[in-house]
Structure 1
Amino acid sequence: MNTQTREDKTTLAGKHALVTGGGKGIGLAIASTLLEQGAAVTISGRNEHTLQDAMRYLHGKGSVSYVLMDVTDLHSVQQAFEHAIVRKGRVDILINNAGQAVSAPFLKTSADMWQQMMAVNLSGAFHCTQQVLPAMLEVGWGRIVNVASTAALTGYAYVAAYCAAKHGVLGMTRALALEVASKGVTVNAVCPGYTETDMVADAVANIVAKTGRTDEQARTDLAAGNPQKRFVQPDEVAHSVAWLCQPAAAAMNGQAIAVAGGEVM
């Protein structure tokens, strides 16, 4: 007989979550939501000023700290996780959110640009996952959520490198999910469409600069791919991520959940 209460299934109290790219945008929204659900949270990023601003925003919501981390640098990743574990204990929940998008026609995509997209979006998730998985397997519980993109599910013109990297993230998600399926650890991906973040603001600015469209026209064009004709909000992505972290979501494994208003089905 399962004596676990409903409260037990919906709380993350006693769990330590680490959110990469947690200083702003989707990562900051995820950190806030996990704190509200009782988890202790470590946010990471490359910019200490951004992380300190995030700490001020998160103040009073729960147990939160930050570590500097460049997900493309294995040594930086190893040091950051060591510091996070010393402060708050084993990482039970890993949110691989750090990401970057650069757009260019395929023939103008340099080898350096290609490698940068792979390093940030794919290798970064690989490095971080390797840091937490042994302890998760040892205790028989863990949640890994990779924040991918609808670019992991379909193609978009002028972002071949980004699409390839995010498709790689989804492939890694599915392969690892099968490896750990019987060991109490789940691995899933959340795939947002265009979301109201700095990344989208940069895309809008790029469209304006290259096409002469107004800011409003550029935003409307980007949002048009969403059947709801709007940008996804960071909190909407965060709640999807947090649900996958719940004990009650144990049967969710190897999934790619599109948070995109029906853009990808």
Structure 2
Amino acid sequence: MRTADASATPPVSPRPETVHAVITGAGRGIGAAIARHLHEAGMQLTLLGRTESALRQTADALGGAVRVAVCDVADSPAVERTFAALPPVHVLVNNAGQAESATLSRTTDELWQRMLGVNLTGTFHCTRAVAEGMRRARWGRIVNIASTAGQRGYPYVAAYAAAKHGVIGFTRSLALELAPSGVTVNAVCPGFTDTALLDASVANIVARTGRSEEAARAELAALNPQRRFITPDEVAAAVAWLCTDGAASITGQALSVSGGEVM
């Protein structure tokens, strides 16, 4: 029987002395929390998003030399131009996302394409821009912020759930493609997280059902077995760990940060 020759596989490179991380959707919420955690880990940051004022506010709060890049991740040429102007990227966190709810009969083509464009196609655009450089360098971390909606689904968010399921499938396939090079690709899947997106979901429930805001929030929190919302810092801590050397053998995973909602 033929045995594998370990020496035939080129060694994985050590972690770069200076790690440059790009975080999309970094102006607020989960993205801003991730930026803070990676900054505290000593990484050089580029904050990417569509709203310069929000990005600047996050950068100012961090202090130091933090780059800001204004870009719509759904715009392929804009993504190519933006990443071409950046230094080599060692860590990419695809956090940019958008959530809207509607029954299937009220899900327009525009809404469907918008959910796919930001949540799935944007992840593809940014990852494609950095993956080959990471593969050549033989070190890299790609973390895609998906959702429990990509693991189990929820009513009235078929377009959003389809996009997030796509993110997880993309993550698993790319993880296998890049595994020999020492680049890891993982997804972090938050449950309902206390951000502006959650506020919008609550407002939609109130408008649709006539329930109070308190009742709507309680209904969503009850989906979490811990009976609470996830915090942005909890999601960011999971992302930061996946970027460490201790997580070098963790790839192709969809890590649920949801209080046990998804197991």
Whether these two folds match at TM > 0.5 is yes
CA drift at 1:29: 0.3
**What is the alpha-carbon distance in structure 1 between the residues aligned to residue 158 and residue 65 of structure 2?**
39
Question: 2: CA distance between counterparts of 1:160 and 1:58?
Answer: 36
CA change 1:68–1:214 in 2 (3 A) is same
Aligned residues: 250
- 2:48 aligned partner: 44
Stretches of 4+ aligned residues off by more than 2 angstroms: none
For 1:77 and 1:23, how far apart are their aligned partners in 2? 17
The corresponding residue for 2:6 is none
Runs of 5+ consecutive residues of structure 1 not aligned to the other structure? 1-8
The 8 Å contact of residues 12 and 34 in structure 1, kept in 2 or not, is answered as no
The match for 1:123 among 117, 121, 124 is 121
Equivalent residues in 2 for 1:199-218, closer than 5 Å = 199-218=197-216
* Alignment-derived partner of residue 8 in structure 2: none
Q: Distance in 2 between matches of 1:24 and 1:254?
A: 27
Partner SS, residue 205 of structure 2 = helix
Code of the aligned partner of 2:217: R
Q: Identify the residue that residue 252 of structure 2 maps to in structure 1.
A: 254
TM-score (norm. length: structure 1): 0.92
SS across alignment from 1:258: strand
- The 3-state SS of whatever aligns with 2:180 is coil
- Name the residue aligned to 1:228: 226
For 1:210 and 1:75, how far apart are their aligned partners in 2? 38
Deviation readout 1:176-214 (Å, 9 max, x if unpaired): 001111111000000000001110011111111222211
Q: 5+ residue gaps in structure 2?
A: 1-13
Distance 1:27 1:13, change over 3 A: farther
**Which residue of 23, 26, 38 corresponds with 1:34?**
38
Post-superposition offset of 1:12: 8.0
Q: Please state whether the residue corresponding to 2:81 is helix, strand or coil.
A: helix
Deviation string, structure 1 residues 206-240 (Cα, Å, up to 9, x no partner): 11122221111111111110011110000000000
**Cross-structure match for 1:184:** 182
Distance of 2:134 and 2:191 partners within structure 1: 30
Counterpart CA distance in 2 for 1:258 and 1:56 is 31
Instruction: Note if 1:69 corresponds to 2:71.
Output: yes
In structure 2, how many angstroms separate the alpha carbons of the residues matched to 1:247 and 1:139? 15
Q: What CA distance in whole angstroms lies between the structure 1 residues aligned with 2:91 and 2:126?
A: 11
SS at match of 1:178: helix
User: Compared with structure 1, are the counterparts of its residues 12 and 30 closer, same or farther at alpha carbon in structure 2 (3 Å cutoff)?
Assistant: farther
The CA distance in 2 between the partners of 1:120 and 1:139, in whole Å, is 28
Aligned to 2:155: 157
* Residue from 22, 25, 29 that aligns with 2:29: 25
What is the Cα deviation at residue 13 of structure 1? 5.6
Q: Quote the Cα distance in structure 2 between the aligned partners of 1:124 and 1:13.
A: 29
State the identity %.
54
Aligned-partner Cα distance in 1 for 2:38–2:59? 14
Structure 1 CA distance for aligned equivalents of residues 151 and 181 of structure 2: 27
In structure 2, what is the equivalent of residue 140 of structure 1?
A: 138
3-state SS, counterpart of residue 181 of structure 1: helix
Aligned equivalents of 1:55, 1:137: Cα separation in 2: 29
Pairwise CA RMSD: 1.3
What is the aligned partner in structure 1 of residue 3 from structure 2? none
Separation in 1 of the partners of 2:148 and 2:251? 18
Q: Which amino acid aligns with 1:112?
A: E
Q: Distance in 1 between matches of 2:203 and 2:82?
A: 33
Q: Aligned partners of 2:159, 2:35: CA distance in 1, in Å?
A: 28
Amino acid in the other structure paired with 1:128: C
